Amino acid sequence: MKKLIIIKIGGAAIQQLTTAFFHQLQTWHLQGYRILIVHGGGPMISQLMTRLQLPVKKMNGLRVTDDQTLALTKLVLLGEAQPALLTQLAQHHLPVIGLNAADNQLLVGDYVNQAQLGAVGKVTTVNQSYLQASLAHHIGVLAPLALTATGHWLNVNADVAATALAQQLQAEKLVLLTDVPGIIHHGNVLTTLSPHQAQMLTQQAVITAGMRPKVQAAIQAIQAGVAQAVITNAIDQPGTAIIQEAAI
Protein backbone atom coordinates (compact mmCIF):
# COMPACT_ATOMS: atom_id res chain seq x y z
CA MET A 1 0.00 0.00 0.00
CA LYS A 2 1.60 3.23 -1.15
CA LYS A 3 2.35 5.95 1.41
CA LEU A 4 1.54 3.73 4.39
CA ILE A 5 3.24 4.18 7.76
CA ILE A 6 2.69 1.57 10.46
CA ILE A 7 3.48 2.55 14.05
CA LYS A 8 3.61 0.08 16.91
CA ILE A 9 3.06 1.64 20.33
CA GLY A 10 3.81 -0.36 23.48
CA GLY A 11 1.33 -0.33 26.32
CA ALA A 12 3.61 1.75 28.55
CA ALA A 13 4.19 4.29 25.77
CA ILE A 14 0.47 5.05 25.43
CA GLN A 15 0.65 7.14 28.61
CA GLN A 16 3.87 8.90 27.58
CA LEU A 17 3.00 10.34 24.17
CA THR A 18 4.30 13.85 23.59
CA THR A 19 2.91 16.83 21.71
CA ALA A 20 5.57 16.17 19.05
CA PHE A 21 4.05 12.73 18.47
CA PHE A 22 0.63 14.15 17.64
CA HIS A 23 2.13 16.94 15.52
CA GLN A 24 4.08 14.39 13.47
CA LEU A 25 0.93 12.35 12.90
CA GLN A 26 -0.87 15.51 11.77
CA THR A 27 1.95 16.32 9.36
CA TRP A 28 1.96 12.85 7.82
CA HIS A 29 -1.83 12.85 7.54
CA LEU A 30 -1.81 16.20 5.76
CA GLN A 31 0.90 14.89 3.43
CA GLY A 32 -1.45 12.12 2.32
CA TYR A 33 0.05 9.21 4.23
CA ARG A 34 -2.16 6.41 5.46
CA ILE A 35 -1.35 5.73 9.10
CA LEU A 36 -2.02 2.56 11.06
CA ILE A 37 -1.18 2.36 14.77
CA VAL A 38 -0.87 -1.10 16.31
CA HIS A 39 -0.99 -0.78 20.09
CA GLY A 40 0.12 -3.09 22.88
CA GLY A 41 -0.98 -3.28 26.47
CA GLY A 42 1.51 -5.60 28.15
CA PRO A 43 2.11 -3.67 31.38
CA MET A 44 -1.63 -3.15 31.92
CA ILE A 45 -2.30 -6.84 31.33
CA SER A 46 0.43 -7.86 33.78
CA GLN A 47 -0.83 -5.40 36.41
CA LEU A 48 -4.37 -6.74 36.14
CA MET A 49 -3.17 -10.33 36.38
CA THR A 50 -1.09 -9.49 39.44
CA ARG A 51 -4.08 -7.83 41.11
CA LEU A 52 -6.09 -10.96 40.42
CA GLN A 53 -3.22 -13.08 41.78
CA LEU A 54 -2.73 -14.87 38.48
CA PRO A 55 0.74 -15.98 37.36
CA VAL A 56 2.41 -13.96 34.59
CA LYS A 57 4.35 -16.37 32.40
CA LYS A 58 6.51 -15.38 29.43
CA MET A 59 8.64 -17.38 27.06
CA ASN A 60 11.15 -15.63 24.75
CA GLY A 61 9.32 -12.36 25.26
CA LEU A 62 5.88 -13.82 24.47
CA ARG A 63 3.08 -14.05 27.04
CA VAL A 64 1.97 -17.61 27.67
CA THR A 65 -1.79 -17.31 27.11
CA ASP A 66 -4.28 -19.71 28.65
CA ASP A 67 -8.04 -19.12 28.43
CA GLN A 68 -8.12 -16.81 31.46
CA THR A 69 -5.12 -14.79 30.26
CA LEU A 70 -6.68 -14.46 26.82
CA ALA A 71 -9.92 -13.12 28.30
CA LEU A 72 -8.02 -10.53 30.35
CA THR A 73 -5.86 -9.60 27.35
CA LYS A 74 -8.95 -8.89 25.24
CA LEU A 75 -10.46 -6.92 28.11
CA VAL A 76 -7.39 -4.71 28.51
CA LEU A 77 -6.60 -4.21 24.81
CA LEU A 78 -10.15 -3.50 23.63
CA GLY A 79 -11.54 -2.02 26.83
CA GLU A 80 -8.67 0.04 28.21
CA ALA A 81 -5.62 0.49 25.98
CA GLN A 82 -7.41 1.18 22.70
CA PRO A 83 -9.97 3.64 24.14
CA ALA A 84 -7.17 5.50 25.97
CA LEU A 85 -5.22 5.93 22.74
CA LEU A 86 -8.28 6.85 20.68
CA THR A 87 -9.22 9.48 23.25
CA GLN A 88 -5.79 11.12 23.11
CA LEU A 89 -5.76 11.18 19.32
CA ALA A 90 -9.27 12.67 19.18
CA GLN A 91 -8.31 15.32 21.74
CA HIS A 92 -5.56 16.41 19.32
CA HIS A 93 -8.17 16.72 16.55
CA LEU A 94 -6.93 13.73 14.57
CA PRO A 95 -9.47 11.65 12.62
CA VAL A 96 -9.33 8.18 14.17
CA ILE A 97 -11.03 4.81 13.90
CA GLY A 98 -10.70 1.86 16.28
CA LEU A 99 -10.11 -1.51 14.63
CA ASN A 100 -9.91 -5.12 15.76
CA ALA A 101 -9.70 -8.60 14.27
CA ALA A 102 -13.47 -9.10 14.26
CA ASP A 103 -13.99 -6.22 11.80
CA ASN A 104 -14.67 -8.07 8.52
CA GLN A 105 -12.06 -10.72 9.39
CA LEU A 106 -9.44 -7.99 9.47
CA LEU A 107 -6.72 -10.20 10.96
CA VAL A 108 -6.79 -13.96 10.49
CA GLY A 109 -4.14 -15.93 12.30
CA ASP A 110 -2.85 -19.27 13.47
CA TYR A 111 -1.24 -20.64 16.62
CA VAL A 112 2.50 -20.19 17.09
CA ASN A 113 2.95 -23.19 19.40
CA GLN A 114 -0.28 -24.08 21.13
CA ALA A 115 1.30 -26.74 23.35
CA GLN A 116 3.89 -24.34 24.84
CA LEU A 117 2.30 -20.90 24.49
CA GLY A 118 -1.44 -21.51 24.44
CA ALA A 119 -3.46 -18.97 22.44
CA VAL A 120 -0.45 -17.00 21.17
CA GLY A 121 -0.82 -16.39 17.47
CA LYS A 122 0.69 -15.01 14.31
CA VAL A 123 -1.04 -13.11 11.54
CA THR A 124 -1.52 -15.10 8.35
CA THR A 125 -4.04 -13.00 6.39
CA VAL A 126 -5.02 -9.32 6.35
CA ASN A 127 -8.26 -8.00 4.85
CA GLN A 128 -6.41 -5.47 2.74
CA SER A 129 -9.38 -3.95 0.93
CA TYR A 130 -11.25 -3.27 4.18
CA LEU A 131 -8.16 -1.83 5.82
CA GLN A 132 -7.36 0.35 2.82
CA ALA A 133 -10.88 1.77 2.88
CA SER A 134 -10.69 2.36 6.64
CA LEU A 135 -7.40 4.24 6.36
CA ALA A 136 -8.44 6.40 3.41
CA HIS A 137 -9.65 9.18 5.71
CA HIS A 138 -8.83 8.00 9.21
CA ILE A 139 -5.83 7.05 11.32
CA GLY A 140 -6.41 3.43 12.28
CA VAL A 141 -5.85 2.16 15.83
CA LEU A 142 -5.63 -1.62 15.82
CA ALA A 143 -5.43 -4.09 18.71
CA PRO A 144 -2.93 -6.97 18.19
CA LEU A 145 -5.45 -9.79 18.30
CA ALA A 146 -6.29 -12.20 15.51
CA LEU A 147 -8.99 -14.79 14.84
CA THR A 148 -8.36 -18.28 13.55
CA ALA A 149 -10.27 -19.55 10.53
CA THR A 150 -12.62 -21.26 13.00
CA GLY A 151 -13.21 -18.13 15.08
CA HIS A 152 -10.87 -18.61 18.04
CA TRP A 153 -9.19 -15.47 19.37
CA LEU A 154 -5.40 -15.27 19.42
CA ASN A 155 -3.06 -13.03 21.40
CA VAL A 156 -0.47 -11.69 18.95
CA ASN A 157 2.66 -9.89 20.10
CA ALA A 158 2.18 -6.28 18.96
CA ASP A 159 5.63 -6.11 17.34
CA VAL A 160 4.90 -9.32 15.43
CA ALA A 161 1.47 -8.05 14.37
CA ALA A 162 2.84 -4.70 13.18
CA THR A 163 5.56 -6.45 11.21
CA ALA A 164 3.15 -8.85 9.56
CA LEU A 165 0.95 -5.92 8.53
CA ALA A 166 3.96 -3.99 7.21
CA GLN A 167 5.05 -7.02 5.19
CA GLN A 168 1.67 -7.91 3.71
CA LEU A 169 0.73 -4.31 2.97
CA GLN A 170 4.25 -3.37 1.80
CA ALA A 171 4.33 -0.35 4.08
CA GLU A 172 6.76 2.44 3.35
CA LYS A 173 7.84 2.67 6.98
CA LEU A 174 7.53 0.64 10.17
CA VAL A 175 8.12 2.45 13.47
CA LEU A 176 8.41 0.37 16.62
CA LEU A 177 7.79 2.92 19.36
CA THR A 178 9.06 1.91 22.79
CA ASP A 179 10.21 3.54 26.02
CA VAL A 180 13.89 3.83 25.05
CA PRO A 181 15.44 5.94 22.24
CA GLY A 182 16.77 2.90 20.40
CA ILE A 183 19.32 0.15 20.89
CA ILE A 184 21.79 1.45 23.48
CA HIS A 185 25.37 0.15 23.50
CA HIS A 186 28.12 1.59 25.72
CA GLY A 187 25.76 4.43 26.65
CA ASN A 188 25.08 5.51 23.06
CA VAL A 189 22.12 4.93 20.77
CA LEU A 190 23.11 2.89 17.71
CA THR A 191 21.95 4.76 14.61
CA THR A 192 21.96 1.56 12.53
CA LEU A 193 21.85 -2.13 13.32
CA SER A 194 22.37 -5.08 10.97
CA PRO A 195 21.11 -8.63 11.58
CA HIS A 196 24.67 -9.82 12.30
CA GLN A 197 25.21 -7.03 14.83
CA ALA A 198 21.86 -7.82 16.41
CA GLN A 199 22.88 -11.45 16.85
CA MET A 200 26.15 -10.44 18.51
CA LEU A 201 24.46 -7.96 20.87
CA THR A 202 21.85 -10.56 21.79
CA GLN A 203 24.60 -13.03 22.69
CA GLN A 204 26.26 -10.30 24.79
CA ALA A 205 22.93 -9.63 26.59
CA VAL A 206 22.85 -6.04 25.29
CA ILE A 207 19.61 -6.87 23.51
CA THR A 208 17.53 -8.63 26.16
CA ALA A 209 14.17 -10.43 26.21
CA GLY A 210 12.02 -7.29 26.12
CA MET A 211 13.83 -5.77 23.12
CA ARG A 212 14.48 -9.04 21.27
CA PRO A 213 11.02 -9.35 19.65
CA LYS A 214 11.27 -5.74 18.42
CA VAL A 215 14.65 -6.28 16.80
CA GLN A 216 13.57 -9.55 15.23
CA ALA A 217 10.39 -7.94 13.96
CA ALA A 218 12.26 -5.02 12.39
CA ILE A 219 14.76 -7.38 10.72
CA GLN A 220 11.92 -9.46 9.27
CA ALA A 221 10.23 -6.32 7.94
CA ILE A 222 13.36 -5.10 6.15
CA GLN A 223 14.09 -8.52 4.70
CA ALA A 224 10.49 -8.68 3.42
CA GLY A 225 10.82 -5.43 1.49
CA VAL A 226 9.63 -2.74 3.93
CA ALA A 227 11.71 0.32 3.05
CA GLN A 228 12.36 1.56 6.61
CA ALA A 229 12.16 -0.06 10.04
CA VAL A 230 13.02 2.01 13.09
CA ILE A 231 13.09 1.39 16.85
CA THR A 232 12.69 4.64 18.79
CA ASN A 233 10.85 6.39 21.63
CA ALA A 234 9.76 9.33 19.43
CA ILE A 235 8.40 9.14 15.88
CA ASP A 236 10.09 12.45 15.04
CA GLN A 237 13.51 11.11 16.13
CA PRO A 238 15.76 8.74 14.14
CA GLY A 239 16.25 6.06 16.79
CA THR A 240 17.92 2.85 15.60
CA ALA A 241 17.31 2.00 11.95
CA ILE A 242 17.52 -1.68 11.06
CA ILE A 243 19.50 -2.14 7.86
CA GLN A 244 20.31 -4.96 5.47
CA GLU A 245 23.72 -6.56 5.85
CA ALA A 246 24.78 -5.35 2.41
CA ALA A 247 23.91 -1.76 3.29
CA ILE A 248 26.76 -1.44 5.79
79-114 core/surface letters (b: 16 or more CB in 10 A; e: else): ebbbebbbebbeeeebebebbbbeeeebbbbebbee
Number of residues assigned to the chain: 248
Residue of 10, 11, 140, 182 marked active site: 11
Classify residue 61 as left (phi > 0), alpha (psi -120 to 50) or beta.
left
CA gap 97, 101 in Å, rounded: 13
Strand partners, 30: none
Confirm or deny that 225 is annotated as ligand binding.
no
Is 214 annotated as catalytic?
yes
Q: Which of 71, 13, 28 is nearest to 173 (CA)?
A: 28
Is 122 annotated as catalytic?
no
Quote the crossing angle between the two packed helices 67-76 and 42-51, to the nearest 10°.
Answer: 120
Confirm or deny that 98 is annotated as ligand binding.
no
Confirm or deny that 42 is annotated as ligand binding.
yes
Residue of 140, 159, 173, 239 marked active site: 159
Residue of 10, 42, 109, 140 marked active site: 42
121 phi/psi in degrees, rounded to 5: -125, 175
CA gap 101, 109 in Å, rounded: 9
Decide the pairing of beta strands 192-193 and 188-189. unpaired
Residue of 118, 173, 182, 214 marked active site: 214
Q: DSSP letter string over 123-144?
A: EEEE-HHHHHHHTTTSEEEE-S
CA gap 172, 188 in Å, rounded: 27
Is 98 annotated as catalytic?
no
Confirm or deny that 155 is annotated as ligand binding.
yes
Active site residues: 8, 11, 42, 159, 214
Annotated binding site: 41-42, 63, 155
Annotated binding site for substrate: 41-42, 63, 155
